[in-house]
Amino acid sequence: MPAEDAPAPAPGAAPAGTPDAAPGAAPAAAAPGAAPVEVAAFGQRLRLAAPSAGFILTDSLWRLREIYEPALAAAAPLGAAGVAIDIGAGFGAFALPFARAFPGWTVWCFEPDPAAFAALAANIAGLGIANALALNLAVGAGAAGDDIAAIASALAGGDAPALARLAPPRSYRRPASLQGYLEAGTAEGEGMTGQSFPTLPAAALAALAPTLVKLVAPRSETAILEALAEVPVEVITGETWSPVAAGLAYRAAGWRQTWLPVAGVPALALRRAPDPGGRREGLDVVVPCHNARPWVEDCVAAILEGADEAVGVIVVDDGATDGSGEAVARRFADDRRVRVHRKENAGCASARNRGRMLSDATHIAFADADDLPGPGMFAGLLDLARYTGAEVVQAGFETLWAEADGGLRREPSYEATDWAFGNLAWTPFGGGEMAPVPAAVLLVGQPTIWRRVYRRDFLDARAIWFPEHIRAFDDQLFQHLTLYHAGSVPMARHLAYGYRQHPGQDIRQGDERAFYALEMFRLLARRALAEGWNGMGPIVRSYVNTLNWNWANLRPDLQAPFAAAAAELWAVLEGALGPAAFAGVAAGEVRATGFAPALRQVRTRLAGRAAGEALAFLDSCALHTPLVRAGIGRPPAPG
């Protein structure tokens, strides 16, 4: 509403000053113990009284610069009129510049601390900000016996004496060293002192119909946002002292553009912003399915366990002949989150790409039909993606082995004992722990695209797809492209993906499909050269690991041709990528018999050529599995 039509201050609330007070004017009546400070925000420059205790001043100004201003700058433009609620208003560092910048809004300020409230009241009076109203109340969870209807009526009517009578006292605690910091709870532990303040039950805030909510209410954030779940709030900012459920931003009423960092954990902030592609806010898990009847229904059920409507499943029946797709369609016929799409058989890469194209979600994931994701894994990863804004997030994983009695034996993955994971800076999240994992650590490990969630705009912008002419190891190129461009991947290690082991897996066949791994690295090198990648060391290390694993699992008659083809690609990569890419990685680490003489032979052929000429050799028959299978692509034995 226009400033001149703003409601009068509530009796007993901070008095409003004259509407035409000059911007930047000194407060008319500075609060005892207050010190003047200049605050510039939202295009306004105001001189405010602040409590002389240093923490509340520096903390308020830090939040203004690092949280509130960036949050509103990233949000859609605010309308000419609205209602803002500032919970934990302090001396008004956010509320008063905002009220001056948006004179058509009504700004309600809640502050329980007496010293901060005194400064806030003096600032409103001295600056004549008629559209700001302040109440000396905390805001927190309600309790049985609260007369919410009466409290809400008194609040909407601006009846401060009634609120003083009706607002129940609640217990709070504060550290003796941080004056101005206050959190819900009784005083326990060293250095904490207890105090009680009149507290407005958060449910009463609905009577104000807020458009914007700014909250600093340690340990009360979830209660406040739950109380406002049915109110169409448009913007939420502030800070939380523990992660709140992402659904309070994504599934509650209103647009709820959100920026809520978690105090003390720079990597975590619940955020919500417009998706440039106009996609549905949520996650689709694509499950390619070809003759996976024994497992696929359990896989889909596991994905949905612990998930809400934000998580969907797209099963792509890739020409199955065992009724896999039909079985899923029957079992989940009444669940709108599950879709089954049938297509002619063209391989797993084709099925994954098709599922991605069918999805309308902001996030995408890929699970194998014979695997068993842990309960709530994908729902938890979606929350982690919303808190970090990361291009890629991941869970841990474990291997599943069939027992004779039909049960499953679970074994932790190699990451459980890997020092690189144990030494990460783990921090609490979602009932467990999370930490950003450097991409360099993941690049050299096993391809595990199935335990990750990807942002769609990231994949689209980088043109990252699965190569559809590849019928095995198609995930390797996808893994390297996504990890290289992501840089680091937040990992929730309390969530786990069950990676089922069985004789029918492609990677266990030991046939010509192993040569697809070589083609993956050929394609990867072409992409790296085209995009000018730096830091290729982890890629080369991954090449060594892949060669050793594949050679050890190959049929004996294919080991020598594989070693020769691997050596050819190695020598070509040396010329194309340059020596820096191979620093710290020795050809002698490749354990394939015959690799060393074959490498010497190819190096001799390339000797004397300019480094760039190696690009011309980035393709050969030996790097195409169908040709190898036909006996055409096998390189000559080294002589």
344-364 pLDDT per residue, tens: 999 999 999 999 999 999 999
- The number of angstroms, rounded, from the C-alpha of 331 to the middle of its chain's C-alpha atoms is 31
pLDDT above 60 (res 4): no
Candidate from 23-32, 69-78, 259-268, 477-486 with smallest mean pLDDT: 23-32
CATH 3.30.1340.30 fits 276-508, yes or no: no
Position with higher pLDDT, 327 vs 3: 327
Q: pLDDT tens-digit profile of 610-627?
A: 766 666 656 666 666 666
When pLDDT is cut at 50, 70 and 90, the band that residue 8 belongs to is very low
User: In which order are the strands placed within the sheet that holds 183-184?
Assistant: 138-140, 192-201, 169-175, 183-184
Instruction: Report which of 217, 262, 232, 231 is spatially closest to residue 244, judged by C-alpha positions.
Output: 262
Distance CA 284, CA 192 (A): 46
Instruction: Report which of 343, 347, 304, 301 is spatially closest to residue 325, judged by C-alpha positions.
Output: 343
Distance CA 573, CA 396 (A): 32
pLDDT of residue 629: 67
Candidate from 3-7, 163-167, 364-368, 587-591 with smallest mean pLDDT: 3-7
Partners of 215 in the beta sheet?
87, 238
pLDDT of residue 548: 93
Average pLDDT, the chain: 87
Distances (CA, A) of 193 to 93, 113, 180, 184: 26, 14, 12, 12
Angle at which helices 474-486 and 537-553 cross, to 10°? 160
- Using a pLDDT cut of 90, give the percent of the chain over it: 63
Mean pLDDT of 275-292: 90
And the tokens for 40? Answer: 């510039």
And the tokens for 524? Answer: 């990867």
Calculate the dihedral angle through the C-alpha atoms of 606, 611, 616, 618, rounding to the nearest 10 degrees. Answer: 80
Distances (CA, A) of 472 to 153, 504, 516: 66, 13, 6
Distance CA 163, CA 639 (A): 94
Any idea which residue has 């001149």 for tokens? 4
pLDDT of residue 52: 72
Any idea which residue has 């960036």 for tokens? 70
Fold that domain 27-141+199-272 belongs to in CATH: Rossmann fold (3.40.50)
pLDDT of residue 102: 97
pLDDT of residue 19: 33
Confirm if 434 and 427 have CB atoms less than 8 A apart.
Answer: yes
551 burial (CB, 10 Å; 0-12 / 13-18 / 19+) is buried
Count Cβ atoms below 10 Å from residue 182 Cβ, excluding itself: 23
And the tokens for 36? Answer: 């003047």
Whether 276-508 and 27-141+199-272 are alike in CATH topology: the answer is no
Domain segments of the chain as ranges = 27-141+199-272, 276-508, 510-639
pLDDT of residue 636: 54
